[in-house]
Amino acid sequence: MSLFGKKFECQACGMKFNSEAELRQHGAVHMAPKPAVPQGPSCPACGVSFRSQDELKAHAQQHHGM
């Protein structure tokens, strides 16, 4: 079906739908909780997080002379 006839637009992402019911169903996509991203070690000097302790050490030596 063409976008010409779709008059129900999602305010969050701009997608268009043929019916209000489709729009409401799509809205759940924007309401779903996002999974937590695990944080690795962070630099005590600037707060930047890293995936590993080795990356943190390299950063600290290069940027902070530690």
C-beta separation of 20 from 8 below 8 A: yes
The answer, yes or no, to whether residue 1 has pLDDT greater than 60, is no
Q: Which fold is adopted by the domain 1-32?
A: Double Stranded RNA Binding Domain (3.30.160)
Rounded to the nearest angstrom, the gap between the alpha carbon of residue 21 and the centroid of all alpha carbons in its chain is 26
Taking residues 11-30, report their average pLDDT. Answer: 94
Q: What is the pLDDT of residue 6?
A: 85
Q: Which token pair is 20?
A: 């209000």
The enclosing H or E element of 64 equals helix 53-64
Domain segments of the chain as ranges: 1-32, 36-66
pTM of model > 0.85: no
List of residues 6+ apart from 54 with CB closer than 8 A? none
Q: Which residues touch 55 (CB under 8 Å, ≥6 apart)?
A: 40
pLDDT over 90 at 34, yes or no: no
Average pLDDT over residues 11-31: 93
